[in-house]
Chains A and B, each alone.
Chain A
Amino acid sequence: MDYSGGRVLLSSQREGQSTHYSPRVLILVPLAAILFQVYVPQFFEFLHFLELPMLVVVYFALMRRSQLGGLFLGALVGIAQDSLTIKPLGMYGIVKTLVGYFAASVSVRFDVEHSIIRGMLCFFFYLFHQCLYWVMERALLGHQPPFEMQSWLVQGGLNAVVGLALFHFLDKLRSSA
């Protein structure tokens, strides 16, 4: 596949090939992302905007092009993330399940090796993640969280930038098989 190709859309689903990763990578990378999420922002508070677990879910869902894989990875990462908050289990789980599923769904139509596509998808899925979480918090928990679309837009852009670098790094962990 041509990484630097100018095409954005794939002409057929067969053109998109799934990428394989070793099970070790599939376990350790999400774990490291969650660990980053709970550990690093306490020393660098400005990094609190980063949704590294979501970016990891989006990456593996995009690259593996498997809807089932994406949704299960999203559910596991989300529930693990829920376990480390005071909110009921399932909030992040449901959101990330949908993120994983939809990311895998769009991967069959887009050239996910394209940097612009990757950045746009990171940005879009971050907004989707935040909005859906906001809706669920209001609807299911009865809370009144603030609707901060402006800051979400900015944070979405920053997550997209970080996501590009992260995806570039994770590309190196692909199995050669």
Chain B
Amino acid sequence: MESFLNRYRNITVLLLVIFGQLLLLAVQVKSDRNVPVIRVWTVTAITPFARVLEAVRGGGTGFFRNYIFLHNADAENRRLRDQVGRLKMDNIFLRDQLNTAERARALALFQQHTQSKTLAAIVIASGAGVNSKVVFVDRGSVSGVERGMAVVTPDGIVGKVVAVYPTASQVLLMTDADFAAGVISQKGGVRGTFKGQGSPMGKVDYVSSSEKVETGEWFYTSGDDRIFPRGFPVGVVKSVRPGSPFQEVLVEPSGIEHGLDEVLIVVEGVHREIPPVETANQPVYIAPPPPDAAAVREAAAAEAGSTPTEADKLRAVYKAAGEAQGHRYGEGYKAPDLLKLPAPGSTPAPAAPVANATPASPSPAAPGAAPATPPAPKTVPNERLANQAAGAQSGTSGH
């Protein structure tokens, strides 16, 4: 028996170790519970080294940059001693500082302007697996981080906190196959579920084939998942393929596009509006509406009135005679004395007022309408009218 055990000792131990781990695995999968003790031990053992490495890397990078900077500044100072080298050096220094702090400032600016309460964190390590899409940040339960909190950058969402340890937290990135978030499209308000694929591109599931999603359109968080507040950018649509019953919408995440150094953990999320689609503000020329038939006819009539016909001339003569006799056409029953007509050739052009009338009231034939510039009777060189006027004056004076 003893020799049997000795002979198969290794394989027995192997089977026991495998069985033990299978049991551990089964307990976790069955009860959906974690084994926090082992994870806490490992993370607590690893994160101090990661912090030290990060500090060494940051310090080394800073020293190297400073050395290069000073070296360049010295050379530049020698070359430009007669000029305003110091000012230029200051300028370069400030630019360098600005570039170095650009991301941090953008993050701080975003943190100030966003209504959600956030906590800045630094990524100190990534997941240990080859296919793992998780990172560790340097904020844990001591800083108030809780499991399920959203992690964002000014460019968009990054992931969510899946495990919290005292001094660090584990963040599941949005590119992981286990990640999902409720999203809504910017233009059409199409709702769906963003899912990671384990690759740089994600996809939006459950978009019905009848709904319209365009390439280049943005997706934002919808807030439906109760993790990400509404209104944070998720990504831009790269391709849309028709399918039944759902379309295949591929989205390029925007939050992790420029790498991950510093992130914000949303401690208290505040929903915000989806920003409206930006449209071009250039002025647009709008042509005048086409003229209707009446306006065309009026314009034609006005055009025709500019060259009076014989009937117009005769009408003007009658009108002038009536006015000379104090008669108004259309009123009373007594007709004017048409025998006392002025000579047609001596009549001032009565059509002129018609021709000068504005197109808005081109109604020369309107009954009783007075011309704009009525002809003066005294100027009419008519012999009979002159005699009549003379007789009237003498008669009046004779009474």
Contacts and interface: CB of A to CB of B under 8 A. Distances in A.
Interface of A: 31, 34-35, 37-39, 41-43, 48-51, 53, 67-68, 71-72, 75, 79-94, 97-98, 101, 130, 140-141, 143, 145-146, 155
A34 B24 contact: no
A51 B53 contact: no
26 contacts: A34-B46, A35-B53, A39-B53, A39-B125, A42-B123, A71-B14, A71-B17, A75-B21, A80-B128, A83-B39, A83-B41, A84-B42, A84-B128, A84-B129, A84-B136, A84-B170, A85-B132, A85-B134, A86-B132, A86-B162, A89-B35, A89-B38, A90-B22, A91-B25, A92-B128, A97-B21
B14 A88 contact: no
Interface string B340-373: 0000000000000000000000000000000000
B177 A39 contact: no
B28 interface: yes
Given A97-B17, A146-B198, 16 more contacts: A31-B49, A35-B49, A38-B128, A42-B123, A49-B130, A68-B10, A72-B17, A84-B46, A84-B128, A87-B129, A88-B25, A91-B25, A92-B129, A130-B130, A145-B131, A145-B177
A94 B24 CA distance: 11
A152 to B, nearest CB: 10
Interface string B5-48: 00001100110011001101100110000110011011101100
A115 B41 CA distance: 37
Closest 4 A-B residue pairs measured CB to CB?
A: A83-B42, A90-B25, A84-B128, A38-B125
A97 B53 contact: no
A66 B10 CA distance: 9
Interface of B: 9-10, 13-14, 17-18, 21-22, 24-25, 28-29, 34-35, 38-39, 41-43, 45-46, 49-50, 53-54, 57, 123-132, 134-136, 162-163, 170, 172, 176-178, 198, 260
A77 to B, nearest CB: 10
A68 B127 contact: no
B38 A88 contact: no
Contacts of A75: 17, 21
Contacts of A39: 50, 53-54, 124-126
Contacts of A67: 10, 14
Contacts of B131: 145
Contacts of A97: 14, 17-18, 21
A42 B42 CA distance: 19
A65 to B, nearest CB: 12
Highest count of chain B CB atoms <10 Å: which of A42, A80, A92:
A42
Contact of A42 (B13, B126, B129, B177): B126
Contacts of A145: 131, 177, 198
B239 to A, nearest CB: 19
Contacts of B28: 88-90
- Central interface residue in B45, B129, B177, by most chain A CB within 10 Å: B129
Contact of A94 (B10, B22, B57): B22
A130 B130 CA distance: 9
A86 B177 CA distance: 11
Contacts of B123: 42
Nearest to B176: A86
B153 to A, nearest CB: 15
A91 B35 CA distance: 13
Given A35-B50, A140-B29, A81 B128 contact: yes
- The residue in B38, B132, B134, B170 that gathers the most chain A C-beta atoms within 10 A of its C-beta is B132
A37 B128 contact: yes
A42 B17 contact: no
Given A83-B41, A85-B129, A38 B46 contact: yes
Contacts of A130: 130
Given A34-B46, A39-B50, A93-B21, A79 B38 contact: yes
Contacts of A146: 198
Contacts of A31: 45, 49
Nearest to A33: B128
B21 A140 contact: no
Given A35-B53, A38-B50, A90-B22, A84 B127 contact: yes
A140 B26 CA distance: 8
Contact of A68 (B13, B124, B134): B13
Nearest to A142: B29
Contacts of B176: 86
B221 to A, nearest CB: 21
A92 B129 CA distance: 8
A39 B56 CA distance: 13
A135 B53 CA distance: 35
A116 to B, nearest CB: 25
A160 B83 CA distance: 58
A95 B21 CA distance: 10
